Amino acid sequence: MADFSTEDGLPPCHLPLRGRSAVDALFEIPPFEYSPRASRAFLAAMRAALAFQGSRAPVLRGLYRDEGFAPASVRSERDVPRIPFLSVAALKERDLTTLPFSRIALELKSSGTTGQRSRTQLDRGSLLRVRRLIWRVFEGLGLTDLERAHDYICFTYDPGVAKDLGTAWTDKLLTDFTKKGEIFYTFRWSRERKDFYNDLDGSVGALRRIEERGTLARLIGFPAFALKLTEEYKKRYGRYPRLNPGSSVVTGGGWKTLADEAVDKKVYRKILADNLGIPVANVRDLFGMVEHGVPYVDCRLGNFHVPNYARVLVRHPGTLEPLGFGRRGLLQFITPYLTSYPSLSVLSSDLGLVRRRCRCGLPGPVLEIHGRAGVKKLKGCAISASTML
């Protein structure tokens, strides 16, 4: 399987897609344009993706047959809840690749050596589309900057070693969203231990260099490590660092097994912003799933926004009936960009709700994550990373 270097020959994600299919066309519409045009584009893309996958993925073909579903029946937003879904557990337990293995350009997994690992497999078209849609979401939230260089501290695995980890791929991609300065990955590989370790000395050194230069910086990755770094900096230098006020933070991956150390999101944003000397609005978080690929990213007020490249439904945990806005249940994630993996519609193990709108003024619904359902933990990147704290 190819590693991240497979992307070296791909066009930059800030350039429009060259494809002319209905699926490609969706990602050239602004991510937060909620309009009849955007709805038509999403529905057309879903019909095309569902038809393509249904003709090639036996698991979806069986679902369509059992539920009496036809991709062409998705004509309006009211039809979206009828799209058959796969449970996230099924995707963890089975190899359900749609296309021949020879056409897979990149496989991404969650970290960890035990438990159920999340995964997705991307052909070239799917890879181009997911890179483009992530760029568009960040651009729509004002988090891209190709004119000014940013230094990076990435609280994730060195992508030169972690060649198939979803978090390493995502954070590597995010460094392409600005002009690049220094990039430091905090989870380094130890040849002696044959494992990753958190290079705290190197992280403090990188933060010190950034402060001294006064350059723009962006910290990305697991939230617990960002907070720990600022506390370690204060421990060594007797004060918190003072970064260029235009700097930013984009955390992701959650706290997982560090729940007893977790801080309320609003409180965390204020603490970390104060510790770094930057505005609270510059501290953002994102939620994502390897199987799904679409990022749900904070606005300036700290709320996850749903781009029109996806739909998020909430289902009753017992009956699986769709619930309306403001009601808590299991989250179902729907997106049309994949042609190589049958996770167009995934019922997750996450509990949450969807609200109609946000006070920030950005159109479209917002997503609230309330944690995992059930009692069995599904192994994820943040759980594995927490062992290094």
User: Which two structure tokens, joined as six digits, stand for 177?
Assistant: 């969203």
Q: What is the DSSP letter of 57?
A: -
The pair of three-digit structure tokens given for residue 321, joined into one six-digit string: 């009936």
Q: What is the pLDDT of residue 313?
A: 98
Instruction: Quote the pTM value.
Output: 0.91
Q: Where are the beta strands (DSSP E) in 88-212?
A: 104-109, 119-123, 145-157, 178-190, 195-198
pLDDT of the residue at 261: 54
- 246-272 pLDDT, tens digit each: 999 999 876 544 444 556 888 999 999
Q: Which residue has the higher pLDDT, 339 or 115?
A: 339
What's the Cα-to-Cα distance from 51 to each of 74, 76, 331, 338, 344, rounded to whole Å? 11, 16, 24, 12, 11
Q: Which residue has the higher pLDDT, 24 or 114?
A: 24
333 DSSP assignment: E
CA distance linking residue 1 with residue 38, whole number of Å: 35
Q: 8 pairs with which residues across the strands?
A: none
CA distances 2 to 11, 64, 125, 164, 362, Å, are: 17, 32, 15, 9, 38
Tell me, what's the pLDDT at 113?
Answer: 45
Whether residue 301 has pLDDT greater than 60: yes
Residue with tokens 């010190």: 208
pLDDT surpasses 50 at 38: yes
- 200-213 helix and 223-237 helix, angle to the nearest 10 degrees: 70
The answer to whether 317 and 303 are in contact (CB under 8 A) is no
pLDDT at 2: 57
Residue 168: predicted pLDDT: 84
pLDDT of residue 254: 66
pLDDT number for residue 262? 58
pLDDT tens per residue, range 323-373 = 999 999 999 999 999 999 999 999 999 999 999 999 999 999 999 999 876
Percent of the chain topping pLDDT 70: 90
Q: How confident is the model at residue 375 (pLDDT cuts 50, 70, 90)?
A: very low
Give me the pLDDT at residue 377, please: 47
pLDDT greater at residue 218 or residue 160: 218
pLDDT at 287 over 90: yes
